[in-house]
Amino acid sequence: MTLSTTASLRRRRHGGASRADRLIQWGTWLLVVVLIFGPIVPVVYAGFVDRPLYESGGVLTFGNFGTLVDDPEFWSALRNTALFALMAAVPGVVIGAGLAVLVARTDLPMRRAFSVILVAPLLFPGLGVTLGWVTMYSPSGFVSTWVADHFGSTPWNLYSLPGIAMVTLEKSVPLVYLMVRARLSSLDTSIESAALTAGARPLRVLLTITVPMLRPALWTAAILIVMIAFETLGLPLILGGPVGIDTLSTYLYRIWTTDPGRQGAVSAAASGLLLLVTVLLWLRTRIEGDTGRYTTAAGKPSAARHLRLGPLRWPSAIVVGGYVVVAILLPVIGLVMTSITYIFTPAVSP
């Protein structure tokens, strides 16, 4: 076999392989497009026609959007959703980032145990988490009853917007914790070490050096929580439905299931939500793409140096442990006890 023949065979094999690769790539892209836009296109189109899609003779119109604008319940649901998102995002970012910094950057006792327990709620089913919180922190729950018996009243109400946001922290805090901790692991600690060597106190180093470098992760986490708050249905439906609190998701669900004639308005509102999520995703991408502004050094980051908390070491561990007990362990105990007893309430002995 000559060299030219061998080269020709190689070109044929490589050409066949490249064609197969292109077919796989185009097939993958086609599948992604169908899975993403297949459900979206009918919803958006339904928002611009004057009748359900299963009826013929539909005419393009903006009337569905006008119906939403004229409905005071829509504006009430939108306001509730915005408040819910704010009350979920701000505490979620503050608590999650604080826990990540304490576990990853300080000499906090029991860091390894906390690092596992803090992300465990991500593995819990959402409905189970909600039932656990209701068992413990509803007006007739065990913790609420104990607090009311000893202090006269409870400072929280689970069946309210702050209460719904409080339950949301069970899932949002671990997300923020993971995102901030990942950012911390990629940061070079040489500046922190230099500040400590120069005599700066650990708390000052955390507030003036570490936290500013976490801004991209904090903004990204906040945007993610806002997106989750706008699309969450189960939690507001269970806790807000009995007391008449509507968010956008529960408002749309209620109209969809009780008023078939307004399905066009539901599609119009869903189109608005899609636009909002798209803008938030774009904003998140811009923030993540600008992380170079917060790069401290090129190359492999220096090994993390744990900041000494000094006299705050054990008080900090008690605070973290208190969060674990209140937000994770007690709801889990409530869920487990509910599942193994006929009725589990302070009013009746199991």
Tell me the whole-structure pTM to 2 decimals.
Answer: 0.79
pLDDT tens readout for residues 94-104: 999 999 989 98
pLDDT exceeds cutoff 90 at 299: no
Amino acid at site 13 = R
Going by pLDDT thresholds of 50, 70 and 90, the confidence category of residue 329 is: very high
Beta carbons of 296 and 187 less than 8 angstroms apart:
yes
Among 156, 54, 138, 108, residue whose Cα is nearest residue 334: 138
Determine the number of helices (DSSP H) and then strands (DSSP E) in the chain.
16, 0
pLDDT on residue 167 = 93
Architecture of domain 72-340: Orthogonal Bundle (1.10)
Beta carbons of 128 and 338 less than 8 angstroms apart:
no
Torsion of CA 192, 196, 200, 201, to 10 degrees: 90
Segment 145-160 mean pLDDT: 88
Going by pLDDT thresholds of 50, 70 and 90, the confidence category of residue 35 is: confident
Lowest mean pLDDT: which of 27-41, 68-82, 195-209?
195-209
Widest pairwise Cα distance in the chain = 97
Beta carbons of 114 and 320 less than 8 angstroms apart:
yes
More confident residue, 211 or 332: 332
More confident residue, 116 or 153: 116
* Beta carbons within 10 angstroms of residue 26's beta carbon: 10
Beta carbons of 46 and 53 less than 8 angstroms apart:
yes
> Which residue has tokens 């909600």?
130
pLDDT exceeds cutoff 80 at 31: yes
pLDDT exceeds cutoff 80 at 335: yes
Distance CA 256, CA 131 (A): 26
C-alpha distance across the termini of the chain, in Å = 87
Q: What 3-state class would DSSP assign to 106?
A: strand
pLDDT tens readout for residues 197-222: 666 676 677 777 777 788 888 888 99
Q: How many residues does the chain have?
A: 350
pLDDT on residue 211 = 76
Distance CA 350, CA 327 (A): 24
Whether the CA torsion 261, 265, 268, 270 is positive or negative: it is negative
Domain residue spans of the chain: 11-38, 72-340
Q: What 3-state class would DSSP assign to 103?
A: helix
In the predicted model, what is the mean pLDDT of the chain? 81
DSSP category for residue 245: -
